[in-house]
């Protein structure tokens, strides 16, 4: 049996697909279910996927497919007396932990050395919820060694909180000339913006303020062994 929120979500997705042919956005799902953050939506969708009620369609944004609806007559769960141990019933799917893992978008590979083109993608990366704070987040795979002295290594996943502002000394994703992105310390130097590496073998990069747009601040790192 689905939880009340899972039941509400699959009904909302099914109704929206029937009306428009397009699955609702995470923001629309968050508002429809009166959730405080999109992380809750991610958890509900993951639970419905595990129980094979829905699936995500690869390489398409906002693409969900309803595989099956709850059984006829299934209602919002209410408190019931436990069934006798002898009751012959198929074992239920284990409940999904409420706060262990969330999925955030993985937007390609970012150079921690020389700037490279910023990539966008629809891949989702599972991340321990404890690594993320408030706000909207995405992940970038680090390429290069210019931030090694800050503990950021080639192949790490940088967890980025989306924002357009930064203070001196913060590690940011900076989009340069609307084409290339880099992960560096952000500093103001007179009328210029200076992006500092954390490796003595690299030199700072200086740009006019109109050349640089902050795309987010480093919130955490994920490393796979």
38 included as an active-site residue:
no
Q: CB burial class (10 A; 0-12, 13-18, 19+) of residue 165?
A: exposed
Residue 195 parent element (H or E) = strand 192-196
| Helix/strand/coil for 5 | helix
**Could you tell me which residues come within 8 angstroms of residue 87 by beta carbon, excluding any fewer than 6 positions away?**
none
Single out the catalytic residue among 23, 30, 38, 184.
Answer: 184
Angle made by CA atoms 138, 221, 116, in degrees to the nearest 5: 60
The DSSP letter of residue 209 is G
Closest CA to 136 of 162, 106, 104: 162
Single out the catalytic residue among 38, 46, 146, 188.
Answer: 146
Closest CA to 184 of 103, 102, 113: 113
The DSSP letter of residue 145 is S
Tokens found for residue 158: 């940088």
184 included as an active-site residue:
yes
- Do 77 and 94 touch, CB atoms closer than 8 A? no
* Active site amino acids: 146, 184
């Amino acid at each position: 049996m689905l939880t009340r929120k899972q039941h509400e979500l699959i009904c909302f997705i099914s109704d929206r697909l029937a009306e428009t042919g397009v699955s609702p956005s995470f923001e629309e799902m968050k508002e429809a279910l009166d959730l405080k953050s999109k992380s809750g939506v991610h958890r509900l969708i993951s639970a419905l996927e595990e129980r094979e009620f829905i699936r995500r369609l690869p390489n398409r944004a906002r693409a969900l497919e309803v595989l099956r609806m709850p059984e006829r007559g299934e209602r919002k769960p209410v408190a019931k007396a436990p069934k006798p141990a002898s009751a012959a019933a198929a074992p239920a799917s284990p409940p999904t932990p409420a706060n262990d893992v969330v999925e955030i978008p993985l937007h390609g590979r970012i150079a921690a050395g020389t700037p490279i083109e910023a990539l966008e993608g629809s891949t989702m990366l599972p991340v321990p919820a404890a690594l993320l704070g408030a706000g909207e987040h995405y992940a970038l795979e680090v390429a290069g060694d210019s931030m090694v002295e800050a503990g950021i290594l080639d192949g790490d996943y940088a967890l980025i909180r989306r924002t357009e502002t930064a203070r001196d000394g913060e590690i940011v994703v900076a989009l340069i000339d609307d084409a290339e992105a880099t992960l560096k310390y952000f500093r103001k130097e007179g009328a210029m913006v200076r992006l500092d590496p954390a490796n003595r073998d690299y030199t700072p990069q200086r740009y006019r303020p109109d050349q640089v747009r902050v795309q987010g601040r480093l919130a955490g790192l994920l490393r796979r062994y």
